[in-house]
Chains A and B, each alone.
Chain A
Amino acid sequence: MKPLITVDNVHKHFGGTYAARGVSLELYGGEVLALAGDNGAGKSTVIKMISGVYQPDSGTISYQGENITGKNPYEVRDLGIETIYQDLALADNLDVGINIFLGREPMKRRLGFIPVLDRKTMRQEAIRALKDLGIVVNDLSIPVRYLSGGQRQAIAISRAVYWKAKVLIMDEPTAALGVPEQREVKELIGRLKAQGVGIIFISHNLNDIFEVSDRILVLERGRKAGERLISETDEDEVVKLMMGR
């Protein structure tokens, strides 16, 4: 099986700070790869290079064998690599359907010639998209700010999945959530895996990482400190890697 994402020996520095020093990784479809490391270890830098926000100083990033180094965030997203941001990037004042379609809204014609937003289609498609992921939202007409944190996270994820994302990059997806909602999101990650999506999962919480991930890659001051199968490691070893020992 070929990897979805291949990061090959990327370097990135900001002034005198080396945020990534020769990091390489591979992500396969249907697996969850955890990126772990202390603050400043370079986790965010690595995912921002994959999503096109930063360009690496050297090294390459490929998607399904094709070199995508140098593409901008919109081009990367259109390829099917979606990032779920910590602040969710939802428009809180708009409903679920519009949030899933924002930027790519379907139109219809009224009276045969006046183009108008097709809100009905957006709502129906939203119901379908959420149902596919096993998410229940009672009232789709209300602004998403009235929904729980877990539901909002689910909407951000289902938007990515609806637009056929093959790779999901999730930056601390459970950080702002209560315990039951964290469980919902973790279940959702399991279902996405089953659908063949490749997921890069960043978390500070080792419990979460051990619960949902298949592999873990530990970064330490911009270098790869180690890479383990979750089934073959434990928290002690990971903590030692994080601390550079």
Chain B
Amino acid sequence: MRILRLLTGAWSWLFLLFILIFFEVWSHVTYGRTFFGNIFNAQSILLAATQILMMALGLTFIIISAGIDLSIGFIAGLSAVTMAVVIRALDPHLAPGWSFLAGISAAVLISLIPGFINGWMIAKLKVPSFIGTLGMFGIARGAAFLIADGATVSIRNPVAREFGNGRVIFDLVPIPVLIAIIVTLTFHYLLSSTKFGLYVYAMGGNYASAVRAGVNTTRLTIIIFMISAFTASLMGLFYTGRFSAGAGDAGEPILLNAVAAVFIGGASLTGGSGTIIGTVIGSLIIAVIQFGLVFINVPPFWQFVAVGLVIIIAVLIDQSRDRLTGMSGQEEGA
């Protein structure tokens, strides 16, 4: 029973390994060269995974707590636009470094506001998170396009460009990837090793038990929605840095991939399970599929089909884990 549980728990690692080998072999057979050995390919996949991961990181906390955050796509857009607008306004007056700093600070701070409101609505007003964040999805979307005046805001700031496109450590690691690694390790520590993280699991597993144990669930809910907004805002910063332009819909196409990454990583819709490591693997799986399919000349729309299939497989495996061990969480609920 334990071995089965371990195997079903490790399937996402095995699946990632499998698709890596699959694309590598395909590349050798068809083109006679390496796929992942190519540093440009590896960097592109990691950058794509970073985009997904930034949105999925904070979302992992929310989904473990048995909630959902649909607003992060447009919170990322709000962040991207705010950064671009501030830098554009300040560039004529300040050194590029200072206007960049002002831009990212303003973007992160503004993004925390919808995160706070989300948490407050859900914890205090008892609005279901699906509905509450759907409302915020619309509000953040409108705010992002209003700030940008409905257009894409381009900038010419060398620091921002370096932030989005530069590489460090022997010119190998893209800066966004490095930042993502640091942020991921921090949140991994928070979720796996602190009381804060434990209470997120407790709240998702049995809300009443967390309350009875003395957990301040209101504060906890507000904090995790602010974390979700924070990591989404980082995605927006990377976007504006990378393209030297901020757009209101910068993050929206990533939202569903981020949700998928969390579930592929082993989280359950009913809450109480999921890990940061799992979410990292989930993000990598999606990025590899997207990039790999393009690489082997499959029409890009097949990406959606492939990612969709992986989500369904992930959920089936998650369910079979309970079935294999002889019990289901829901039936036990009584």
Contacts and interface: CB of A to CB of B under 8 A. Distances in A.
Interface of A: 74, 85, 87, 89-94, 98, 102-103, 105, 107, 110, 114-117, 139, 143, 145-146, 176
A89 B209 contact: yes
A145 B329 CA distance: 6
Given A116-B194, A117-B194, A91 B202 contact: yes
A90 B213 CA distance: 10
B198 A92 contact: no
A91 B65 CA distance: 12
Contacts of A105: 195, 198
Contacts of A145: 327, 329, 332
B193 interface: yes
A89 B201 contact: no
Contacts of A91: 201-202, 205-206, 209-210, 272
Nearest to B208: A89
A92 B332 contact: yes
17 contacts: A89-B206, A89-B208, A89-B212, A91-B209, A91-B272, A93-B205, A93-B206, A93-B272, A93-B329, A94-B205, A94-B272, A98-B198, A102-B202, A102-B213, A103-B214, A116-B193, A146-B325
A114 B212 CA distance: 28
A93 B209 contact: no
A107 B205 CA distance: 22
Contacts of B273: 93
A28 to B, nearest CB: 27
B103 interface: no
Contacts of A87: 208
B215 A103 contact: yes
Q: Is the interface of A mostly helix, strand, loop or mixed?
A: loop
B18 interface: no
B195 A117 contact: yes
Contacts of B332: 92, 145
Given A93-B204, A103-B213, A115 B194 contact: yes
Nearest to A116: B193
A79 to B, nearest CB: 15
Interface string B299-334: 000000000000000000000000001110100101
B126 interface: no
A89 B204 CA distance: 13
Contacts of B93: none
Interface in B36-68: none
B189 interface: yes
B206 A117 contact: no
A106 B212 CA distance: 18
Given A91-B202, A103-B213, A105-B198, 20 more contacts: A85-B212, A89-B206, A89-B212, A91-B201, A91-B206, A91-B272, A92-B272, A93-B206, A93-B273, A94-B198, A94-B201, A103-B214, A110-B193, A117-B193, A117-B194, A117-B195, A145-B327, A145-B329, A145-B332, A146-B327
B20 to A, nearest CB: 30
B209 A102 contact: yes
B201 A93 contact: yes
A69 to B, nearest CB: 21
A93 B275 CA distance: 13
B198 A117 contact: yes
A57 B272 CA distance: 40
A230 to B, nearest CB: 31
Nearest to B215: A103
A155 to B, nearest CB: 12
Interface string B204-230: 111011101111000000000000000
Contacts of B326: 146
B206 A90 contact: yes
A74 B214 contact: yes
A98 to B, nearest CB: 7
Contacts of B2: 139
Q: Which interface residue of A90, A115, A146 has the most chain B CB atoms within 10 A?
A: A146
A93 B205 CA distance: 5
Contacts of A89: 206, 208-209, 212-213
A32 to B, nearest CB: 23
A114 to B, nearest CB: 7
Contacts of A90: 206, 209
A108 to B, nearest CB: 10
Q: Which interface residue of B194, B195, B205 has the most chain A CB atoms within 10 A?
A: B205
Contacts of A146: 325-327
B267 to A, nearest CB: 11
B31 to A, nearest CB: 46
Contacts of A143: 205
A91 B202 CA distance: 6
A110 B206 CA distance: 29
Contacts of A117: 193-195, 198
Interface in B185-200: 189, 193-195, 198
A116 B206 CA distance: 23
Contacts of A74: 214
B275 to A, nearest CB: 12
Interface string B227-247: 000000000000000000000
